[in-house]
Amino acid sequence: MKHAKKIVTVCGAVVMAWSAGIAIAGVTKPGDVKFDDTKVTAPLTNEAGDAAKGKLLFSNRKKGNCLACHVNKDLADKPFHGEIGPPLDGVASRYSASEMRGILINAKVALSDETIMPGFYMVNTGARVAKKFKGKTILSAQQIEDILAYLQTLKE
């Protein structure tokens, strides 16, 4: 049953990508992401997220750098867990995958307009974006899915 659901949502993403006329097959562009309130139900790519890769992205300072702001006991071997956001231990027991996808893509929509948490898959960010990062998202669509797969392993 779970499996079937996944196929359906993957198909959804592909159809969305098609209708938006996107070059990379099955990848939703940042501007085409559809929020259902705070959730994003459709995966951003048609390749399943890789939790092992997601774990690396979570602590990589140039990628997710989630550890900069969140304590995560699963990464206790890594020093310096930030305390700006809530600890993410057991986060998958508190949020659904669709909710977490929304948070990762654009926490300003999913959590609060005021949040310090960056939007990892959006291009309309702050003013004066440095040239190197202009028009780019912090993470790629696949990286979002990878981190999401990792977050889903963080159960209470």
Task: Copy the structure tokens of residue 96.
Answer: 């659904």
39 bridge partner residues:
36
- Contact of residue 81 among other proteins, ligand HEC, none (CB under 5-8 Å per partner type): other proteins
Name the binder of 73 from ligand HEC, other proteins, none, CB < 5-8 A by kind. Answer: none
Could you say which residues in the range 95-134 bind ligand HEC, by CB under 6 A? 100, 103-104, 111-112, 115-118, 120
H helix intervals, 20-122: 51-59, 91-94, 97-105, 107-110
Asked if 9 touches ligand HEC (CB under 6 A), the answer is: no
- The single residue among 34, 68, 90, 94 that binds other proteins, judged by CB under 8 A, is 68
Give the x-and-dash track for 109-128 against other proteins (CB under 8 A): -------x-xx-----xxxx
Burial (CB count within 10 angstroms: exposed 0-12, middle 13-18, buried 19+), residue 4: exposed
Distance between CA atoms of 120 and 28, rounded to whole angstroms? 14
Residue in 87, 46, 52, 42 with CA at minimum distance from that of residue 66: 87
Give the footprint of ligand HEC on this chain (CB under 6 A).
64-66, 68-70, 84-86, 88, 91, 94, 100, 103-104, 111-112, 115-118, 120, 147, 151
